[in-house]
Every structure is written in structure tokens, then in C-alpha cells.
């Protein structure tokens, strides 16, 4: 549905939600809609235990909206011995400033949450770090493309559409492109073996409705594109016979309503009475 907001019928739709990212290639043929079996999901459902009385979902959403951004600096696919060494690497490659976020508790007390600069800059790294067991978003994109017919890969990678609230994080689109270019130009042995047929497509990467292009601007916000596309779809007129809601309701049994069970029960009772 989100693809309708671009006026196109072909594109690679990447829906980056709160807990899951879906990659769905869409191609509209002359007499139908073709969706190959290559849609992939990247789940972030597991969550850490956080005191709900302080860090409520609303507060975390506001912090994510105001403070988090995607760093343009990639630190590479390095292996770290423990979490501490990984955090040290994040700190060394961070230039963001700390942020003091004021909060008011339910009892009226006020406080301040200190959000370190490296946390603001590197929180989104979980979206771009992955392996063959837990793929990142760029790897999900390439996995989806690799399962398509060869003649469909170039037009789809040239029509990438980002939707969902997570894609509104500053720097997200640029980082996605950088990661894709890194894999295609300088792949690891595993990436070279698995995505060899896609490596020559690095010059064809293009995003639809790209606000970074000269003279371009964002028409619809990414987090509402799906709803707007559905609205456009619902307002379209199709050729063929139409039926009103009143006529449909009056002539066709609605099995979602329980009144038909009363009719069946009454018929059973009448049948049993006549038998006696």
C-alpha cells in the first residue's frame, strides 16, 4: 500500500517498525500484482528488563525521537571479546555530545537522565550489525534481492522505499546506503560467496522520495505512508459490478454476527417438537 504514495507500481519496500523490519519486493504486472516469496523479517522483539515506573514506553519513544541518530561512521565488522571492549570502541568512534533529559516522576519529583553521546550515536548500530544467524537490515535487503529473478533485481534496488517510524531516525537512509555499498565493494568471504550475483549492482542503489536529492522534498512522512497508501487504494474506482453495503448486508449471511446461530437453534427446536 505504501508504494501507492509514490505513484509507482514497482519497488523494494522496507518497513522499519518498532520491533520488526520487513523487506518486501513488489512488482505490478499488466494483469496482476506479483510478490515473489522473498519477503524477510528482522525481529527485535526481545527486550531488556527496564524499570517500568521510570522508563515508560512513552518516555523511551520520546528519547528515541529527540536524541538518537545513526552515525555516518562505520567501525567495521570487528569481533569483540566482551561487551566492555565493544563499548570502548563505540566511545572511541563517537563525537556526539551528552544530552541531559529532564523528567518528572508521578510523585511530582523531578530529575534528569544523562544520555551519553556515544549511546545517542551508536544505539542504532544493532540495526546494522549482523551475521548469517541474525542478519542486519542491509543483509535482509540483499537476501531478499538474491531470491528474485535476475532481471528483477536492478529495477527493485533502484526503487527502495523506506517506511516506518524507525526509518525517521536522522542519518538512517544514508547509513543503509553506506552499508550496502560497503558489502558490494568490499565484501567479506561469506558475503562474497552468498551475494556474488549482486555485487555489480552498487551503482544502481536509489531511494524513492529521497529528500537528500537536489530539488527534492519529502511528500509524506515515512511513518504514515502505509496508512496513506491504504486510503488511496480505498478511494480508487474499479471497473466492474459494484454492490452497496446495504444490499450486501440484506442478502448475504454475515457469519461474523451471532444472530444466525439463534435461527439455527430455533429451527432445531421446531424440528424436535414436530418429531415428538
Q: For residue range 61-114, what is the model confidence (pLDDT) as tens digits?
A: 888 889 999 988 777 655 566 677 777 878 887 888 999 888 877 777 787 888
Pairing of strands 160-163, 10-16: parallel
- The answer, yes or no, to whether residue 144 has pLDDT greater than 80, is yes
- The answer, yes or no, to whether residue 49 has pLDDT greater than 50, is no
Once rounded to an integer, what is the mean pLDDT over residues 127-154?
A: 87
> With contact defined as beta carbons under 8 Å apart, do 18 and 166 qualify?
yes
Please tell me which residue, 174 or 239, carries the higher pLDDT value: 174
> With contact defined as beta carbons under 8 Å apart, do 49 and 131 qualify?
no
Cell 542478519 maps to which residue? Answer: 135
Once rounded to an integer, what is the mean pLDDT over residues 34-62?
A: 60
Write the CB contacts of 183 (distance below 8 Å, at least 6 apart in sequence): 138, 139, 142, 191, 195
The pLDDT of residue 134 is: 79
Listed range (4-18, 109-123, 150-164, 208-222) with the worst mean pLDDT: 208-222
Res. 32 pLDDT band, cuts 50 70 90: very low
What distances in angstroms separate CA 101 from CA 104, 116, 154, 194, one per listed residue?
Answer: 10, 11, 44, 44
Please tell me which residue, 83 or 141, carries the higher pLDDT value: 141
- The answer, yes or no, to whether residue 26 has pLDDT greater than 70, is yes
Q: How many CB atoms lie within 10 A of CB 204?
A: 14
> With contact defined as beta carbons under 8 Å apart, do 211 and 217 qualify?
yes
The pLDDT of residue 45 is: 47
Cell 522483539 maps to which residue? Answer: 45
Handedness of CA 247, 252, 253, 256 (dihedral sign): negative
Cell 555516518 maps to which residue? Answer: 72
The pLDDT of residue 42 is: 53
The pLDDT of residue 181 is: 93
Tell me which CATH code domain 2-234 carries.
3.30.420.40
Helix ranges restricted to H, the chain:
57-67, 83-92, 117-122, 137-146, 150-157, 172-185, 189-194, 225-234, 245-251, 259-275
Please tell me which residue, 262 or 205, carries the higher pLDDT value: 205
Q: What is the pTM of this model?
A: 0.71
Q: What residue segments make up the domains of the chain, in order of their start?
A: 2-234
Amino acid at each position: 500500500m505504501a508504494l501507492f504514495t509514490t505513484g509507482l507500481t514497482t519497488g523494494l519496500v522496507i518497513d522499519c517498525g518498532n520491533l520488526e523490519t520487513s523487506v518486501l519486493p513488489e512488482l505490478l504486472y499488466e494483469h496482476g500484482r506479483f510478490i515473489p516469496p522473498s519477503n524477510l523479517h528482522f525481529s527485535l522483539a526481545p527486550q531488556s528488563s527496564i524499570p517500568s515506573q521510570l522508563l515508560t514506553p512513552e518516555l523511551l519513544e520520546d528519547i528515541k525521537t529527540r536524541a538518537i541518530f545513526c552515525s555516518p561512521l562505520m567501525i567495521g565488522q570487528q569481533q569483540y571479546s566482551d561487551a566492555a571492549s565493544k563499548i570502548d570502541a563505540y566511545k572511541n568512534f563517537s563525537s556526539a555530545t551528552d544530552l541531559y533529559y529532564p523528567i518528572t516522576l508521578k510523585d511530582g519529583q523531578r530529575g534528569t537522565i544523562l544520555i551519553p553521546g556515544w549511546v545517542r550515536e551508536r544505539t542504532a548500530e544493532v540495526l546494522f550489525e549482523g551475521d548469517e544467524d541474525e542478519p542486519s537490515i542491509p543483509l535482509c535487503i540483499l537476501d531478499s534481492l538474491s531470491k528474485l529473478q535476475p532481471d528483477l533485481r536492478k529495477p527493485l534496488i533502484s526503487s527502495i522505499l523506506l517506511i516506518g517510524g524507525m526509518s525517521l531516525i536522522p542519518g538512517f537512509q544514508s547509513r543503509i546506503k553506506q552499508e550496502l555499498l560497503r558489502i558490494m565493494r568490499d565484501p567479506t568471504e561469506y558475503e562474497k560467496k552468498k551475494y556474488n550475483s549482486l555485487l555489480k549492482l552498487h551503482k544502481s542503489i536509489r531511494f524513492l522520495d529521497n529528500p537528500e536529492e537536489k530539488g527534492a522534498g519529502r511528500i509524506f512522512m515515512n511513518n504514515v505512508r502505509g496508512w496513506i497508501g491504504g486510503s488511496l487504494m480505498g478511494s480508487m474506482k474499479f471497473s466492474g459490478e459494484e454492490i452497496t453495503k446495504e444490499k450486501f448486508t440484506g442478502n448475504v449471511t454475515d457469519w461474523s454476527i451471532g444472530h444466525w446461530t439463534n435461527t439455527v437453534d430455533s429451527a432445531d427446536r421446531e424440528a424436535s417438537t414436530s418429531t415428538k
